[in-house]
Chains A and B, each alone.
Chain A
Amino acid sequence: MVGLAASVILTSRADPAAVRVASIALAVLILRTVFSRRARQETQAESMSHAAAQSEAACCPPPPKQQIGAAIFVPCDVTAPGVLEAVAGSDSVVGRLHMHLKSTAQSYSSATKILHWLMAVLVVTCWMLGFLTDDVLKASSRTVTLFVHIAVGLALFDVLVLRALWRAMSSPPPAERRYLGYGPGWAD
């Protein structure tokens, strides 16, 4: 584990995947302990002994007590085969991030959902503002709604660009159902 502000967790390729995942989880635990220690100086001694006890339990070298986070080398290597898959499925920080970006057969990714519903809200808002500006309001109050209409419309355009980029780099789940015997495609 290198660096505290931006921590890098280095692992050893000699260990099996499960040990490497455990090491990463442990490193995250230690980091959390360090951060909470920084926030609450009065609980310093207690959290230090907690972190040290856990690292011993996972057969890793106990961190030097006086400079925790400065240079703790936990034996693991994320580039080794099987490790990324194991990390992706685990309840670690990396695992959870992976979960939010990756769609499954049953659900779209969180990123896709956010873009989709953000766009839905923006489209309806923009349409109502346009309707207000064009058909309902008197000329004097149009300036404000037109300005907001344009701002929301441009935000919509930005989200559309983001969404197109995200669609190009991610893979959505397959369609739930082929459509009424017309074969694949017409709903695309």
Chain B
Amino acid sequence: MHYMLYAMLLMVPVTGILLQFSFGMGLPLYGVTEIPSPLAFNATLAIIMMEVHELSAHSLMILAAAHALAVLVHHSVFRDRTLMRMLPRSNGS
């Protein structure tokens, strides 16, 4: 479950970068500089990457929602500290 979440967190940026490159467009680094595209425009690859990027982004959101739902279940059904221990003001007490 958590490995899926981490996998999607990695998958979405990587496919996003590949999507940008498959259009033959460079990758802007915060407006400071730009990595030029190592690929020429490739319509097939661009369409595949667009779908994969979008699908993995949506599955990331679904996983994140499940993650949030799970912590609420922990908090109000199991009544443990799973939520509390990640909240900013919690400490060892």
Whether the pair B9, A106 counts as a contact (CB closer than 8 A) is no
Whether the pair A156, B86 counts as a contact (CB closer than 8 A) is no
- Give the residues in chain B near A16, CB-CB below 8 Å: none
- Give the residues in chain B near A186, CB-CB below 8 Å: 1
Whether the pair A150, B90 counts as a contact (CB closer than 8 A) is no
Q: List which B1-35 residues lie within 8 A (CB) of chain A.
A: 1-3, 6, 9-10, 12-13, 16, 20, 27-31
Whether the pair B81, A106 counts as a contact (CB closer than 8 A) is yes
- Give the residues in chain B near A164, CB-CB below 8 Å: 6
Size range of the interface on A?
A: 20 to 34
- Tell me the count of chain B residues lying within 8 A, CB to CB, of chain A: 35
Known A119-B9, A150-B28, A177-B74; contact A113-B92, beta-carbon cutoff 8 A: no
Number of A-B contacts (CB under 8 A): 83
A147 at the interface (CB under 8 A from B): yes
Whether the pair B93, A188 counts as a contact (CB closer than 8 A) is no
- Give the residues in chain A near B20, CB-CB below 8 Å: 150
A130 at the interface (CB under 8 A from B): yes
Whether the pair B10, A160 counts as a contact (CB closer than 8 A) is yes
Whether the pair B57, A130 counts as a contact (CB closer than 8 A) is yes
- Give the residues in chain B near A108, CB-CB below 8 Å: 85-86
- Give the residues in chain B near A126, CB-CB below 8 Å: 12
Closest-by-CB residue of B relative to A188 is B2
Whether the pair B29, A154 counts as a contact (CB closer than 8 A) is yes
Q: In the complex the two chains form, what is the Cα distance from A156 to B57 in whole Å?
A: 13
Q: List which A123-167 residues lie within 8 A (CB) of chain B.
A: 123-124, 126-127, 130, 134, 147, 150-151, 153-157, 160, 164
Known A127-B61, A151-B28, A188-B3; contact A104-B92, beta-carbon cutoff 8 A: yes
Closest-by-CB residue of A relative to B90 is A107
Q: In the complex the two chains form, what is the Cα distance from A116 to B74 in whole Å?
A: 18
Closest-by-CB residue of B relative to A160 is B9
Whether the pair A106, B16 counts as a contact (CB closer than 8 A) is no
Closest-by-CB residue of B relative to A164 is B6
Q: In the complex the two chains form, what is the Cα distance from A127 to B57 in whole Å?
A: 7
Q: In the complex the two chains form, what is the Cα distance from A145 to B81 in whole Å?
A: 38
Q: Of B9, B28, B87, B90, which contacts A156 at CB under 8 A?
A: B9
B82 at the interface (CB under 8 A from A): yes
Whether the pair B64, A106 counts as a contact (CB closer than 8 A) is no
- Give the residues in chain B near A120, CB-CB below 8 Å: 64
Q: Which residue numbers of A lie inside 8 Å of B, CB to CB?
A: 99, 104-108, 112-113, 116-117, 119-120, 123-124, 126-127, 130, 134, 147, 150-151, 153-157, 160, 164, 173, 176-177, 186-188
